[in-house]
Amino acid sequence: MSIVRKVTDIVSDLLRSTEYQLYDVEQNAGIVKITVDSSTGVTLDQLAVINRKISHALDEKDPIPNKYTLEVSSPGLERKLRKREHFLAAVNERITVKLGPHVEGERRFGGILKEVSADSLILEVENTEKHEIKIEDITQAKTVFEWEKNPKPGKQGVEPKVSSNSK
């Protein structure tokens, strides 16, 4: 069983009786990144408590044979989409997708995720054109948070003062 699978099982069991859910587990060299979420989001203080509990559980079960750094975080505003479940949760949201080098033609897309099937997704780009993309071809995908544009300072609808120079 892979380290990611072992860590996933341990953390899933640990979070089962809480309001938090395991979003993802990644291992890259000596870094194990665990992403947790809840329906109301996760605060920094909550992450600190969760981090200590996960660290203790991993020390106890010892699924990672070598030295590693543990990172525990929330998915954030722009969430990585790696699993089919992630894509399903992002339907009707704006996402970006990068396809592998084996794919002919355009390899970067951005638009609204309209549909997710067993092995593909439908992405609607700006001009309402729809693209079917195989999930197995995706090397990177994430949701896109759209910031509201604030008016430039001094341009908030304030009427200019008109002075009359009558003497």
Question: What average pLDDT does range 34-39 have in this prediction?
Answer: 94
Domains of the chain in sequence order: 3-73 (3.30.300.70), 84-143 (2.30.30.100)
Is 90 exceeded by the pLDDT of residue 37? yes
pLDDT at 157: 55
pLDDT tens per residue, range 43-67:
999 999 999 999 999 999 989 888 9
Question: What average pLDDT does range 12-32 have in this prediction?
Answer: 93
Using pLDDT thresholds of 50, 70 and 90, give the confidence band for residue 81.
very high
**β-strand pairing of 21-28 with 108-116:** unpaired
> Higher confidence at residue 163 or residue 152?
152
Name every residue whose Cβ is closer than 8 Å to that of residue 25 and which is 6 or more positions away in sequence: 4, 7, 8, 11, 32, 33, 34, 35
pLDDT at 147: 82
Question: What average pLDDT does range 107-111 have in this prediction?
Answer: 94
pLDDT at 154: 63
Is 90 exceeded by the pLDDT of residue 96? yes
Provide the 10 A C-beta neighbour count for residue 55.
13
Beta bridge partners of residue 113, listed in sequence order: 123
pLDDT at 77: 87
pLDDT at 6: 94
Is 80 exceeded by the pLDDT of residue 163? no
> Higher confidence at residue 154 or residue 132?
132
Provide the 10 A C-beta neighbour count for residue 133.
17
